[in-house]
A and B are shown apart, each in its own frame.
Chain A
Amino acid sequence: MKMHRRTVLKGLGGLSLSLPFLEGLRSAKEATAGEALVQPFAIFMRQANGVASAQSTDVGDEPERFWPSSEGLLSPQSVAGRTLEELDGYLNDVLAVGVDAAPFDYGDGHARGVLQGLTAMGPTVIGSGGEADAAGESIDNRIGRELNPDGRESLFLYAGLNAGWMGGACQSYRAAGDRRAPLHNPVNAYALVTGIDGESLSDMLVERRQSVNDLVREQMAALMANPRLSANDLDRLELHRSAIRDLEGTLSCMLTADEEAALDGAAAGYESTDGDQVLAAVRAHIDVAVLSVACGYTRSVSIQIGNGNDGTTRYRNLDTGEAMENYHYISHRRESHGADGAIIPDSDLLHSMVDRQFAQTFRYLMERLANYPLPQGRLLDAGVAVWHNDQSQGPSHSSLNLPYILGGSANEYFRTGQYVRADGVGTHCQLLNMIGTAAGLRNASGGDLDDFGDPSLPKDPLPQLLA
């Protein structure tokens, strides 16, 4: 059996991964003076189970460990002792928002959170709990569908055990009930973005691909020519046909062999239950995500971490270095996926440790974007990174005051450097419309996006978030 190059290279991780410099991009994109080199984009990174914010539960009162001490300007002082201090050094680029989602009846707080998170929609079937699906398209998919070159789908990436509650990956939807499948292994995501896998780019390779693709397209067309086909059959075949990509003669967005090896090493734990390995894989996904938006492969990427309740990942105790109980238990404050089970001592502190590791991972995303220089500004300034959570808090499973931490102003669309509590049912939907606008989506009249999400929810911009 032939070994893939990526397999051979596995285990060589630990190298620092530097992404391609813009010079390569410049030649590929042929940017002209004054023209944006990189189109606006959005990268989403999802956390489950809420955060360790102030609350009273049946196991006692818990102090604020996440949000800044006051609304308004973010400063080292306002985030001191709070999770968001992990973003110190980038606070001017951060917009921390607490938004309220709609109380849709999903029959389960986790389903309501993760399925509504990027859709702002209710369920296809009311009260179906762990078997629920969202009743509409997610914003990451819409950005890709409308803005990506050739209608290419956005990237949907996943890290953690792809099973369990909600069936694993579940936050990205093409349409009502049409859940997208994620790329799990970051190495495969990289291969998708570059179009090749361990092969040397050559005229022969390009021609081989072209010859095969031409024949396959012809066969697809023959199948689709049957006038009796159902809409579902036609839709699926069309999705298949549109997925067939030819290989460009030049690729500017490839990593070097050492960089690929580093990616490979970091990616290895993509289906682990060990939190350190999962978050390493997330960082590898982030490397691919940043590469893909920098190279114009896609205008949006969503990265889901853990299944519906992230019920299998065991993150690290920052004090002891040991693996903690699974995250879902910690968020419940009990040794249980339900409401029974023994109380976990200091579980709010443990939850905060999980929050901090997510904050560190989001910081990594911001750093990768910031380290991409553009002729004017940084890649970080050209789009928006979004660290979002399904719930505000674990025990209550509340959809009020959901943490949406934004990094980057999207060309000065967002007013960064502040903390805003945007209360009122539907502010979550308003924020998703704003993120869509920031990434480049427009309504039918060419104005700001205002038609995304459940029709009953508000969609106008939140003025306090605008630059």
Chain B
Amino acid sequence: MAKRDKYAIGPALVLALGVSTGCYTGIQELNGGVASGGEGGADDGGDDDGEGPDGLGPEEELPVPTTRFFRLTHVQWENTVQDLFDLDEPSGLSADFRADAREGGFLFDNNATSLEVDEALWSGYQRAAVDMAEIAASDPSILEFIAPDTGDETTRAAEFIRNFGRRAFRRPLTDAEATQYVELFNRGPELYEETTGFAAGVRLVLEAILQSPNFLYRSETSEEIVDGVIPLNSWEVASRISYFLLDTMPDDELLDLAEAGELEDPDRVQEQARRLLENPRAHMVVQKFHHTLLEVEKFQQTAPSPAFYPDAPENLGDLAVQEHDLFLAHTVFDNDGSWGDLLTSTETYVNADLAAIYGLSGDFGDEFTRVDLDPNERRGLFTQIGFLVANATSVHPDPIHRGAYLARHIACHSIAAPPDTVPPVPEGDPDATNRETVIAHTEAPGTECLGCHKPLINPFGFPYENYDSTGAFRTEDNGQTVDASATVALASGAVEVSNAVDLAEAMATDEQVHQCYLEHWTEYTMGRPYDDLDEALVDRLATASVEDASVKELLVEFATSRPFLTRSTEEMQ
């Protein structure tokens, strides 16, 4: 299901902005043009009347029917194997897995219903299992980690199977499973030439466990219905929260809590969520989420024209990625910052090259250092170099792509694809500004382009006309003063902004922008497309986000919510 259409502009705003309904895949009327909480949604943010007695948050927040088998993403496979064997660094074996197919309309790499194991991937899993088993069986330190020497080989083998199996399957092995692996273990010495004795048994069992569906899928088999939902058992909670916040298997503390049944208590889950967010892997998860949402991979494809920008560093894209990563980690983790902070902060990180683009004076070298930018010129992610250069031609800023990205992915407006054949930009007035050229191309009366560009796309892009193709601030374009003003479609109505600083402030206080951010997190967290049933949770968290709840706190709220800790009584269709 596509993101909700409630963010499509209401009737009043349609009239005010001249939006063409043809611009949307669907429009639903809003009350006064402002996003409402929706039927059954948390409409008052903070009223605990709807709080269930089970500590799982408001009762109207319900789980969406979803798969019972979440295949590990390739990143999760890699992280899990690293942790299973206590490797100093990733094995790298997942590099040979065939990449998963992209699913149209889903940003992230973890849509569970499309994560399949075909013969090509099975072949990859098989080869990786064989290789990893050989590595482990021939490395005494790994062998000692997964199968500590207890003196008696029979006991040692049994304990290895129980303990390693528990960690690999993220639940205890059944007696039948343990027996089967013991039988396999005993066959090991006769099935290898170069590996002998105990190590051969370990090697064969590892081959089998790493190919088991109980390892490759995070399975949820709970079926008992309690108060209209199916609570996940402690083992399932341990896996959900660990793969959500760390992209890897539960650690020993989580597994022990699961074994004690303590993760059925939301308070313990909350404690664990806060603990896991201190793990460096959580930084990687937050970084990965924002890399995808913010299309950071595009940063590296930038190439400002040397003729127009002779001083631009050749590795500008790489530097922009470094800047972004440092800013993100600093804001979210060092400052415990919010989505609003990411949108409006004047802090960033620069080296000498980026300092020059930002017009900073001072002594800068190759290393990145934290700086405060001019608050009249820069606010947050979208006035930083990465977004600006990734959405620019080699010569000019690109308000169309800047605007389309923000309208779709930050404000969650539904915008139809452009016409099949876009005519070339007409040869225009040589004295025209970039903005004037774009308007001539996209806002001509009677054209198909007008309906989306004039009310939606261009207003989100024009405020960034103050930034050239390297991200440097400019006040003139083609000899004329830059016009960065626009009337932008937000939930609060048609908002007049003078420039990108104004727009950043407007977005940071706009509920729709926060709901949009939380919808993206919902898709990532749950591994499925946004669903109308998610609205109540998203609205509650968006309200908190507008009120400056930190990103980390939002993630804790996700992890302790009813939709996260339970399953629907209905199976997925």
Binding site for B on A (CB under 8 A): 1-2, 4, 58, 105-109, 112, 124-125, 127-133, 152-153, 156, 162-163, 166-170, 177-185, 188-189, 191-192, 195, 197, 199, 202, 204, 207-208, 211-212, 215-216, 218-220, 223, 226, 228-233, 236-237, 239-240, 242-245, 334-336, 338-341, 396-397
Nearest to B423 among chain A residues (CB) is A339
Interchain CB contact under 8 A, A152 and B208? no
Interchain CB contact under 8 A, A133 and B124? no
Main secondary structure on B side of the interface with A: loop
Given A168-B102, A215-B208, A233-B67, also A204-B119 (CB < 8 A)? no
Distance of B74 from chain A, by nearest CB (Å):
11
Given A1-B91, A341-B393, also A212-B208 (CB < 8 A)? yes
Interface string of B88-115 (1 = CB under 8 A from A): 0001100010111111110000000111
Nearest to A240 among chain B residues (CB) is B117
Q: CB of B417 within 8 A of chain A? A: yes
Interchain CB contact under 8 A, A216 and B213? yes
User: What is the bound-complex CA distance between A207 and B116, given in angstroms?
Assistant: 27
Distance of B142 from chain A, by nearest CB (Å):
11
Interchain CB contact under 8 A, A216 and B208? yes
Cβ contacts under 8 Å, A212 to chain B: 184, 204, 207-208, 211
Interchain CB contact under 8 A, A109 and B120? no
Q: CB of B421 within 8 A of chain A? A: yes
Nearest to A131 among chain B residues (CB) is B104
Q: CB of B226 within 8 A of chain A? A: no
Q: CB of B68 within 8 A of chain A? A: yes
Cβ contacts under 8 Å, B441 to chain A: 339-340
Interchain CB contact under 8 A, A181 and B204? no
User: What is the bound-complex CA distance between A344 and B102, given in angstroms?
Assistant: 32
Interchain CB contact under 8 A, A243 and B193? no
The 3 closest A-B CB pairs, nearest first, are A129-B417, A167-B102, A107-B417
A-contacting residues, B179-209, CB 8 Å:
180, 184, 187, 191-193, 204, 207-208
Distance of B173 from chain A, by nearest CB (Å):
11
Nearest to A168 among chain B residues (CB) is B102
User: What is the bound-complex CA distance between A166 and B67, given in angstroms?
Assistant: 26
Distance of A395 from chain B, by nearest CB (Å):
9
Cβ contacts under 8 Å, A219 to chain B: 212-214
Cβ contacts under 8 Å, A335 to chain B: 393-394
Interchain CB contact under 8 A, A211 and B191? yes
User: What is the bound-complex CA distance between A133 and B104, given in angstroms?
Assistant: 6
Q: CB of B335 within 8 A of chain A? A: no
List 8 contacting pairs A-B, 8 Å CB cutoff, sorted by A: A4-B131, A107-B416, A167-B102, A188-B96, A204-B193, A211-B204, A212-B211, A243-B121
Question: Residue A188 contacts which of B101, B123, B219, B221 (CB distance < 8 angstroms)?
Answer: B123
Interchain CB contact under 8 A, B417 and A192? no
Given A124-B104, A180-B118, A191-B123, also A228-B571 (CB < 8 A)? yes
Question: Residue A181 contacts which of B100, B131, B400 (CB distance < 8 angstroms)?
Answer: B100
User: What is the bound-complex CA distance between A178 and B120, given in angstroms?
Assistant: 16
Question: Residue A243 contacts which of B68, B102, B114, B119 (CB distance < 8 angstroms)?
Answer: B119
Cβ contacts under 8 Å, A108 to chain B: 417-418, 420
Distance of A364 from chain B, by nearest CB (Å):
23
Interchain CB contact under 8 A, B421 and A109? yes
Cβ contacts under 8 Å, A231 to chain B: 573
Cβ contacts under 8 Å, A131 to chain B: 104-105, 417
A-contacting residues, B211-258, CB 8 Å:
211-214, 217, 219, 221, 223
Interchain CB contact under 8 A, B184 and A211? yes
Cβ contacts under 8 Å, A230 to chain B: 65, 67-68, 571-573
Q: CB of B431 within 8 A of chain A? A: no
Question: Residue B99 contacts which of A58, A181, A189, A202 (CB distance < 8 angstroms)?
Answer: A181
Given A153-B118, A185-B96, A339-B422, also A127-B101 (CB < 8 A)? no
Given A219-B213, A228-B571, also A208-B204 (CB < 8 A)? yes
Nearest to A2 among chain B residues (CB) is B135
Distance of B288 from chain A, by nearest CB (Å):
15
Nearest to A271 among chain B residues (CB) is B99
Interchain CB contact under 8 A, B420 and A107? yes
Question: Residue A183 contacts which of B65, B120, B207 (CB distance < 8 angstroms)?
Answer: B120
Cβ contacts under 8 Å, A168 to chain B: 99, 102
Cβ contacts under 8 Å, A180 to chain B: 101, 118
Cβ contacts under 8 Å, B393 to chain A: 335-336, 340-341
Interchain CB contact under 8 A, B135 and A1? yes
Cβ contacts under 8 Å, B124 to chain A: 188
User: What is the bound-complex CA distance between A189 and B120, given in angstroms?
Assistant: 8
Cβ contacts under 8 Å, A341 to chain B: 393
Interchain CB contact under 8 A, B213 and A243? no
Cβ contacts under 8 Å, B193 to chain A: 202, 204
User: What is the bound-complex CA distance between A215 and B116, given in angstroms?
Assistant: 20
Cβ contacts under 8 Å, A177 to chain B: 103-104
Cβ contacts under 8 Å, B416 to chain A: 107, 127, 129
Q: Which of A169, A183, A220 has the most CB of B within 10 A?
A: A183
Cβ contacts under 8 Å, A184 to chain B: 98-99
A-contacting residues, B398-438, CB 8 Å:
400, 416-425
A-contacting residues, B68-97, CB 8 Å:
68-69, 71, 91-92, 96
Q: CB of B130 within 8 A of chain A? A: yes
Q: CB of B297 within 8 A of chain A? A: yes
User: What is the bound-complex CA distance between A122 and B102, given in angstroms?
Assistant: 18
Distance of B335 from chain A, by nearest CB (Å):
32
Distance of A159 from chain B, by nearest CB (Å):
13
Interchain CB contact under 8 A, B98 and A179? no
Cβ contacts under 8 Å, A226 to chain B: 68, 221
Cβ contacts under 8 Å, A183 to chain B: 98, 120
Q: CB of B347 within 8 A of chain A? A: no
Distance of B116 from chain A, by nearest CB (Å):
5
Nearest to B221 among chain A residues (CB) is A226
Given A2-B131, A204-B191, also A163-B297 (CB < 8 A)? yes
